[in-house]
């Protein structure tokens, strides 16, 4: 019979991703509207090769995450926002599942260490990065690649490497901007082979010996397989044409992390990682994964997630021989009582909803899961076998915590839940104007939703699309936008140049936001107010204004 202590570790693992769920923002990321609109466009019109969403013409275009766009739109359009966000949660669970499997493999089956490591990542890392963006799918693929590479390094079995070209094909279509990481993750294993061949490093730092030739063939195959995408080499090398320091310096995701409260955890992990390296004999490929991904994290905030999910694997390896007894899984009535009370709360919340009739199908599915879980709990609660009783308890966890998400979102309006900040503004604009007659200015933070609603705008949150390296134009559109919001270009001349009929000016649009209220040539149509303080942190503050330009 399985020891209760080990099963307690399993309980800890199963709880970890769902505990993270409690801290997640169940909101649509603003960039998601471009992703949904792109997926809809591909299914209706095929692959775009010139930029189809803004007012600019003849811009060369690579839809870098076309497959993600199609998947997201198919789920959202057919099943709604609730199912889509549940899908995002499921991807997060899959990431943690693979992470735990890697940890268990590195620790030679030390369940307690691998589960605790997963718990830490599930609670402190994933909720901050599990957004409605392509990175969750590409990160899941990269975790799979790491698992396969580790298996090959330990067993020298070539069959594991068959998956590498498949991962390459998936990544170049799901999120081509990060496709080169497929090869970057191979480098530590090549380095370990070369170190064994050409240096006298202690074998304790090299791990098991493996043949490098199959790994080389896998890398070559991964390169040529990646050509199977709608944009060919343009997608494969998109990363190298999309970065411009003068532009991306404005964007927080591209900036290096600073030692502030949101990123202290990253620096603490780095510190303890170096301490671990000094005390343990860790294989070179894990050391290089830690150092390389840590360096990427220091270069850019958006890379920190990769460091957390793959670079931190040195810790479970370093603790693989550590043994400790986790809590005994005793399930008295008082421990189950909170779940029973929570079920009453769920029923109260749902039956008090005005939109309950007709009930959405996804709610019916969740209610069915809830009743099934309660049935299992009742069945196992009287069992004499403590492990069987604990398994019955685990069956309750998933539906309960999914319902926390549904209860939470039902407390807010559908507008807030779906992050449709500008829905009323767009409705008003389209009610008073023919869409073909509208020439709308939108800034970097606001264009995606307007484009999703069918309006062709000045710009949106994709700076790489408007930079000359990708656009094929000599003129730098995104550079012009930053000149306008900084005040180095007269905004009145800018309005005349594009013959705008309307301006949607957001607080993030710099000088435009503060100068336009005093312009007599602009007629204020409506204002967007941050009623809950979710956007800029101040409740009741105006964060955007829609103007009509006088002719």
DSSP for 319-382, written as a single string: TTT---PPPP----HHHHHHHHHHHHHHHHHHHT-TT-SSPPHHHHHHHHHHHHHHHHHHHHHT
Q: What is the pLDDT of residue 27?
A: 61
Q: What is the pLDDT of residue 441?
A: 94
- CB 422, CB 450: distance < 8 Å: yes
The string of pLDDT tens digits covering residues 165-175 is 999 999 999 99
Instruction: Pull the structure tokens for residue 238.
Output: 């998109």
Phi, psi (deg, nearest 5) at residue 524? -70, 125
Helix, strand, or coil (residue 20): helix
Q: Where are the domains of the chain?
A: 4-318, 333-416, 421-549
- The burial class, CB within 10 Å (0-12 / 13-18 / 19+), for 117 is buried
395, pLDDT greater than 80:
no
Confidence of residue 380 (pLDDT cuts 50, 70, 90): low
Q: Are strands 440-441 and 502-506 parallel, antiparallel or unpaired?
A: parallel
Helix, strand, or coil (residue 548): strand
Percent above pLDDT 70 for the chain = 73
**DSSP code of residue 256:** P
Confidence of residue 142 (pLDDT cuts 50, 70, 90): very high
Mean pLDDT of 278-286: 84
The string of pLDDT tens digits covering residues 216-261 is 999 999 999 999 999 999 999 988 877 666 665 566 666 777 777 6
Q: What is the pLDDT of residue 253?
A: 67
- CB 133, CB 27: distance < 8 Å: no
Confidence of residue 401 (pLDDT cuts 50, 70, 90): low
Helix, strand, or coil (residue 75): helix
466, pLDDT greater than 60:
yes
335, pLDDT greater than 50:
yes
Q: What is the pLDDT of residue 415?
A: 39
Least confident among 135-144, 253-262, 292-301, 360-369 = 360-369
Percent above pLDDT 90 for the chain = 35
536 vs 190, more confident: 190
């Amino acid at each position: 019979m399985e020891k209760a202590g080990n099963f307690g570790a399993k309980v800890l693992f199963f709880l970890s991703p769902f505990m993270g769920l409690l801290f997640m923002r169940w909101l649509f990321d603003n960039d998601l509207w471009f992703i949904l609109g792109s997926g809809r466009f591909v299914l209706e019109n095929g692959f775009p090769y010139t930029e189809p969403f803004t007012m600019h013409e003849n811009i060369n275009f690579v839809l870098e995450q076309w497959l993600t766009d199609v998947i997201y739109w198919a789920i959202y359009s057919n099943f709604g926002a609730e199912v889509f966000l549940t899908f995002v949660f499921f991807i997060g669970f899959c990431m943690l599942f693979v992470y735990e499997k890697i940890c268990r493999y590195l620790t030679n089956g030390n369940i307690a260490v691998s589960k605790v490591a997963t718990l830490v990542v599930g609670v402190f890392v994933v909720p901050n990065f599990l957004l409605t963006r392509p990175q969750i799918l590409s990160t899941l693929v990269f975790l799979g690649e790491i698992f396969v590479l580790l298996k090959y390094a330990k067993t020298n079995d070539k069959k594991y490497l068959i998956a590498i070209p498949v991962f390459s094909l998936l990544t170049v279509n799901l999120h081509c901007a990060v496709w080169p990481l497929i090869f970057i993750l191979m480098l530590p294993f090549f380095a370990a082979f070369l170190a064994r061949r050409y240096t006298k490093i202690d074998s304790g730092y090299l791990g098991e010996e493996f043949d490098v030739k199959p790994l080389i063939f896998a890398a070559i195959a991964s390169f040529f397989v990646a050509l199977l995408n709608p944009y060919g080499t343009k997608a494969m090398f998109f990363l190298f044409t999309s970065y411009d320091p003068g532009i991306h310096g404005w964007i927080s995701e591209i900036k290096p992390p600073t030692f502030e409260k949101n990123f202290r955890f990253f620096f603490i992990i780095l510190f303890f990682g170096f301490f671990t390296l000094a005390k343990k004999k860790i294989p070179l490929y894990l050391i290089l994964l830690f150092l390389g991904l840590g360096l990427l994290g220091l270069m850019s905030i958006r890379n920190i997630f990769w460091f957390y999910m793959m670079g931190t694997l040195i810790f479970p390896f370093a603790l693989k021989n550590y043994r400790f007894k986790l809590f005994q899984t005793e399930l008295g009535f008082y421990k189950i009582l909170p779940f029973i009370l929570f079920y009453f709360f769920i029923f109260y919340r749902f039956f008090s909803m005005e939109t309950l009739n007709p009930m959405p199908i996804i709610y019916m599915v969740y209610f069915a899961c809830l009743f099934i879980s309660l049935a299992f709990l009742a069945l196992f609660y009287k069992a004499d076998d403590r492990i069987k009783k604990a398994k019955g308890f685990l069956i309750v966890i998933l539906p309960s915590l999914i319902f926390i998400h549904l209860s939470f979102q039902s407390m807010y309006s559908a507008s807030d839940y779906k992050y449709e900040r500008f829905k009323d503004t767009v409705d008003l604009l389209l009610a008073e104007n023919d869409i073909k007659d509208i020439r709308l200015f939108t800034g970097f933070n606001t264009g995606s939703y307007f484009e999703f609603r069918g309006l062709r705008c000045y710009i949106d949150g994709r700076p790489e699309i408007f930079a000359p390296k990708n656009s094929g134009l000599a003129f730098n559109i995104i550079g012009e936008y930053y000149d306008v919001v900084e005040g180095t270009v007269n905004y009145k001349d800018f309005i005349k140049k594009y013959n705008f009929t309307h301006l949607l000016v957001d607080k993030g649009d710099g000088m435009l936001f503060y100068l336009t209220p005093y312009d007599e040539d602009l007629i204020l149509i409506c204002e967007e107010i941050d009623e809950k303080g979710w956007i800029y942190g101040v409740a009741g503050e105006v964060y955007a204004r829609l103007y009509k330009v006088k002719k």
